């Protein structure tokens, strides 16, 4: 045994002393033959809620996972979801990934990845369970707030630096939920029916980018089914596409409770099994790890001759590769936890992601205010708690009410609740720091808010959704598109008496706003984490000029959108089976692709976002495939504009959306400053996926490049030929 330990230690030491990257494959070849059959089996399944064993005899450590992707989750007990009640596991909460996507700034993704990885490293975690890059297919999806919006190009561009940032700290990402996990209502039993072209053009690109460009070291299978196989052991998705076409050399990890069949788990690409016989969130027995599909059933199958060992060796090789990239990486650091740099990063990312949706009459930024009325439960409710696996135990969370009082200390700041969501909902033993009890009727709360608004210079309403069940939360979808808890009546009443009314929508999803024409200023405020209040106050005050753009469309009503039939959502139950079939018959026309192609005007379009300054676009010009456009800041304050490139193919042998995002750049300009923004247009920006040939195709002909400030705000265009 001492000889074995010495060999492993010598390999790691040699790698640490080397001036070049260690030859991981050579090390794996040395280690793999020394691991016994029983030890290999143990490596492929969990030993606790969030850990799996290494090989102590050989000095190979345990693998520890942590829920993200917005912060490092509190420690739980070995066999239960209940909190372990440590005193040193209160983390920094970062903005939800919808906010990160809304920054349209890959530099923010890199900063996010590096910062959260340092906190994972400090807590001795191997794998960060995130980021999530599923497409927002419709507005009721309970988990949309964890993802990066409706567009595959935006998600692909933003996920790569996140992955690289995390893994630069020797912590593995686990990109999730692969794939087609677009709603929560029947997440364990829904079978997605989608054509290959739509699969490859809409639902796979962000995962592919994370793997082939970002170099992701692990990926998480989804709960749902595709081709009648669960996606944690799906032959087409995991073997043919992920490990075949994309050459993925990392580890496929099951979602907690996502593994259902030993034969499929053995043969169809699953490498590490977690959480079997739980619902992934709340329930499930303890101490059953040896009965997992990749545990004793797998071992017995090998010993009886039912299974060979090639698949097992491939799984273990991948797990060793993960270990050598993370726990056993030479010079792996110790990380940092809840430090000023992480707070500053969270605030900066949040500030860049906040979207100014409407600002009639230049109501914002707030100025010369003697009295400010703050209204709404979301002004003080903790929003880092709840929502499922992204629920966090934070060191602190600055509420909007606290921050407004601090920023506008020269003004009288008063508060009225306006609406109530009911008693606080704790999760994992974490509860909000405020008492949410309310004795007034909804009518009285509205009346009190209106009375307080009559002599206020500004009325700031913090409303929207929250992390309660059937809001923005794992395990269930929203029940309606409208705002909950009687908020529409509140806003309508305040609009009658307040001329400077601002609605700050806290959500990770689009919502209905039937009063949109009556409210002069609307801000999309997301779930912003520990620095939420400060980030919102920065934008409302003008200390930060908003530069976020929507990563998804806000329709006036869901009936105007692409998903309207029962077969599309929530699906049709199969007779005699516990399966729900969901049909993606809208095809490629997801989000703005639908609204542009069908010429339906949304309330707020994909890519929309205003500023406290103004930007002028020159005429676009193109030479070959190099497109250029001059952008000027024609206002009085410094600001940033996201210049968006869309490509249209008006004459094609197949049906295509009117235009598709194929490039963007965020440019920062001082007042009066101009810059020329350039785009190189590759063939990939012109191609479509030909399912019959199973390849990407570019047809010769004329294309149109559209340059704009939003999908509905095209400022200039130019034609070119392939």
Structure confidence at residue 278 as a pLDDT band (50, 70, 90): confident
Cα-based torsion angle of the residue sequence 510, 514, 520, 521 in order, rounded to the nearest 10 degrees: -20
| Strands of 172-173's sheet in order across | 51-52, 63-67, 127-129, 172-173
Q: What is the pLDDT of residue 285?
A: 74
Buried b (16+ CB within 10 A) or exposed e, 458-495: bbbbbbbbbbbbbbbbbbbbbeebebbbebbbbbebbb
Instruction: Render pLDDT for 145-157 as a digit per residue (tens, 0 to 9).
Output: 999 999 999 999 9
Question: CATH topology for 614-721?
Answer: Immunoglobulin-like (2.60.40)
The answer to whether 681 and 696 are in contact (CB under 8 A) is no
pLDDT band at 181 (very low <50, low <70, confident <90, very high): very high
Looking at residue 429, its pLDDT comes to: 63
pLDDT band at 433 (very low <50, low <70, confident <90, very high): low
pLDDT of residue 22: 63
Dihedrals phi, psi of 464, to nearest 5 degrees: 110, -140
How far apart CA 29 and CA 85 sit, in angstroms, is 41
Query: Is the pLDDT score of 48 beyond 60?
Result: yes
Q: Are strands 674-680 and 626-633 parallel, antiparallel or unpaired?
A: antiparallel
Residue 23 pLDDT > 50? yes
Question: Mind listing the pLDDT tens digit for each residue in 557-597?
Answer: 999 999 999 999 999 999 999 999 999 999 999 999 999 99
Would you say the C-alpha torsion 204, 205, 210, 212 has a positive or negative sign?
positive
pLDDT digits (tens, 9 = 90+) for 234-251: 999 999 999 999 999 999
Query: Quick one: pLDDT at residue 424?
Result: 64
pLDDT at 321 exceeding the cut of 70: yes
As a whole-number percent, the residues of the chain with pLDDT over 70 amount to: 95
Does residue 7 register a pLDDT over 80? no
pLDDT band at 279 (very low <50, low <70, confident <90, very high): confident
Q: What is the pLDDT of residues 360-390, one digit of tens each?
A: 999 999 999 999 999 999 999 999 998 999 9
What does the pLDDT average to over 338-350? 98
CB-based contact 709:667 (threshold 8 Å): no
- Is the pLDDT confidence value at 280 over 90? no
Domain ranges of the chain: 2-14+36-73+88-325, 354-544, 614-721
Chain centre to alpha carbon of residue 181: 12
- Residue written as token pair 């260690």: 22
- Confidence band of 282 (pLDDT split at 50, 70, 90): confident
Provide the annotated active-site residues: 255
Distance of CA 345 to the CA centre of its chain: 17
Structure tokens at 94: 């970062």
Q: What is the pLDDT of residues 300-311, one digit of tens each?
A: 999 999 999 999
Structure tokens that stand for 570 in this block:
């929530």
Q: How far apart are CA 414 and CA 435, in angstroms?
A: 18
Give pLDDT, residue 427: 65
pLDDT recorded at residue 6:
40
Which runs of E-coded beta strand occur in 266-388?
A: 355-359, 371-375
| Residue position matching structure tokens 């996140």 | 162
Which of 650, 423, 398 lies closest to 538 in space, CA to CA?
Answer: 398
| pLDDT at residue 283 in the model | 79
CA distance 88 to 73: 12
| Superfamily the domain 2-14+36-73+88-325 falls into | Glycoside hydrolase, family 3, N-terminal domain (3.20.20.300)
Give CATH for domain 354-544: 3.40.50.1700
What pLDDT is recorded for position 145? 97
Q: Taking 70 as the threshold, does the pLDDT of residue 666 lie above it?
A: yes
Tokens of 600: 């339906």
Give me the chain's average pLDDT, please. 94
Given this model, what pLDDT does residue 654 score?
Answer: 95
* Res. 526: pLDDT tops 50: yes
Residue 527 burial by CB count (10 A; 0-12/13-18/19+): exposed, middle or buried?
buried
Tell whether the model's pLDDT for residue 68 goes beyond 90.
no
pTM of the model: 0.95
What was the pLDDT predicted at 425?
63
């Amino acid at each position: 045994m001492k000889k074995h330990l010495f060999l492993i230690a010598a390999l790691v030491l040699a790698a640490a002393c080397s001036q070049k990257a260690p030859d991981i494959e050579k090390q794996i070849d040395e280690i793999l033959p020394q691991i016994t059959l029983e030890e290999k089996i143990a490596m492929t399944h969990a030993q606790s809620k969030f850990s799996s064993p290494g090989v102590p005899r050989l000095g190979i450590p345990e693998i520890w996972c942590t829920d993200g992707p917005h912060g490092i989750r509190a420690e739980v007990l070995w066999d239960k979801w209940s909190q372990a009640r440590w005193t040193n596991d209160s983390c920094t909460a970062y903005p939800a990934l919808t906010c990160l996507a809304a920054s349209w700034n890959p530099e923010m993704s890199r900063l996010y990845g590096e910062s959260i990885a340092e906190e994972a490293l400090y807590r001795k975690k191997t794998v960060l369970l995130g980021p999530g890059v599923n497409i927002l297919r419709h507005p009721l999806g309970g988990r949309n707030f964890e993802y990066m919006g409706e567009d595959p190009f935006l998600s692909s561009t933003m996920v790569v630096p996140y992955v690289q940032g995390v893994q630069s700290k020797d912590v593995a990402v686990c990109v999730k939920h692969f794939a087609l996990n677009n709603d929560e209502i029947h997440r364990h039993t829904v079978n997605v029916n989608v054509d290959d072209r739509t699969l490859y053009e809409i639902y796979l690109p962000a995962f592919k980018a994370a793997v082939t460009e970002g170099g992701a070291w692990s990926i998480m299978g989804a709960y749902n089914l595709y081709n009648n196989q669960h996606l944690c052991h799906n032959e087409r998705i995991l073997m043919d596409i992920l490990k075949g076409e994309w050459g993925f050399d990392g580890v496929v990890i099951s979602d907690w409770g996502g593994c259902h069949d030993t034969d499929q788990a053995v043969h169809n690409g699953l490498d590490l099994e977690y959480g079997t016989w739980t619902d992934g969130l709340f329930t499930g027995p303890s101490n059953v790890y040896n009965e997992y599909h990749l545990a004793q059933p797998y071992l017995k199958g090998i010993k009886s001759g039912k299974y060979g060992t090639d698949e097992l060796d491939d799984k273990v090789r991948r797990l060793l590769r993960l270990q050598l990239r993370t726990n056993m990486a030479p010079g792996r650091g110790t990380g940092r936890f809840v430090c000023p740099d992480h707070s500053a990063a969270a605030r900066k990312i949040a500030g860049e992601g906040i979207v100014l949706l409407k600002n009639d009459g230049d109501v914002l930024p707030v100025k010369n205010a003697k009295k400010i009325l703050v209204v709404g439960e979301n002004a003080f409710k903790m929003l880092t708690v709840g929502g499922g696996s992204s629920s966090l135990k934070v060191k602190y969370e600055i509420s909007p009410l606290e921050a407004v009082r601090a920023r506008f200390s020269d003004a009288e700041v008063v508060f009225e609740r306006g609406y109530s969501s009911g008693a606080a909902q704790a999760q994992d033993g974490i509860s909000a720091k405020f008492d949410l009890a309310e004795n007034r009727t909804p009518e009285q709360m509205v009346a009190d808010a209106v009375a307080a608004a009559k002599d206020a210079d500004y009325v700031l309403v913090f409303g929207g959704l929250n992390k309660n069940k059937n809001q923005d939360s794992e395990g269930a979808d929203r029940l309606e598109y409208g705002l909950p808890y009687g908020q529409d009546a509140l806003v309508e009443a305040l609009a009658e008496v307040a001329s400077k009314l601002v609605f700050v929508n806290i959500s990770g999803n689009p919502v209905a706003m039937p009063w949109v024409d009556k409210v002069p200023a609307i801000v999309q405020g997301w779930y912003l984490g520990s620095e939420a209040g400060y980030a919102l106050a920065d934008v409302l005050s003008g200390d930060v000029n908003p530069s976020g753009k929507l990563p998804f469309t806000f329709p006036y009503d869901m009936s105007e959108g692409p998903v309207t039939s029962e077969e599309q959502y929530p699906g049709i139950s199969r007779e005699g089976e516990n399966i729900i079939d969901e049909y993606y018959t809208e095809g490629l026309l997801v989000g703005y692709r639908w609204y542009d192609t069908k010429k339906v005007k949304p309330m707020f379009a994909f890519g929309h976002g205003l500023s406290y300054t103004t930007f002028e676009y020159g005429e676009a010009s193109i030479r070959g495939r190099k497109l250029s456009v001059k952008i000027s800041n024609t206002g009085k304050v410094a600001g940033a504009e996201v210049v968006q490139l869309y490509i249209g193919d008006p004459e094609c042998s197949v049906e295509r959306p009117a235009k598709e995002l194929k490039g963007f750049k965020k440019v920062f300009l001082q007042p009066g400053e101009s810059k020329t923004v350039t785009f190189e247009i590759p063939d990939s920006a012109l191609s479509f996926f030909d399912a019959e040939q199973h390849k990407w195709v570019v047809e010769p002909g004329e294309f149109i490049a559209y340059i704009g400030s939003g999908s509905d705000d095209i400022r200039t265009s130019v034609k070119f030929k392939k």
